[in-house]
Amino acid sequence: MKALIIKEKWLNLILSGRKTWEIRSSNTKIRGKILLIKSGSKQIFGECELVDSKKLNLYQYQISEDKHCIDVKQDILPYKNTYAWVLKNPKKYDNPISYKHPIGAVIWVNFK
């Protein structure tokens, strides 16, 4: 199973169900249930389903603030290649789960 590392602000929005698009600079082929790690915490705070990844143009990015929760103030994309990783069915754990963070893991942590 995969676990996505996310900064606290965005993680809280995902787990609350408000943020359904995670904006990233690369595509992903990963689908299905993923775990959600708060960056720097060495703890898993919940899970969700990663159901799609779609490349965005500027217009799609601008009209979708309600999905990605980023305040769009400029007429540029955040990345040269901007992708929306589409998330569904978030579940916040009552008690975070600690894990040993592997050296070099920045975006994903792999669990067996």
Residue 71 CB: number of other CB atoms within 10 A? 7
pLDDT, tens only, 80-93: 999 999 999 999 99
Structure pTM?
A: 0.95
pLDDT, tens only, 18-63: 999 999 999 999 999 999 999 999 999 999 999 999 999 999 999 9
Question: Residue 14 maps to which CATH number?
Answer: 2.30.130.30
Task: Yes or no: say if 67 and 77 are a contact pair by the CB < 8 Å rule.
Answer: no
Q: What's the domain range around 34?
A: 2-110
Overall number of domains in the chain:
1
Rounded CA Rg of the chain: 14
pLDDT, tens only, 92-111: 999 999 999 999 999 999 99
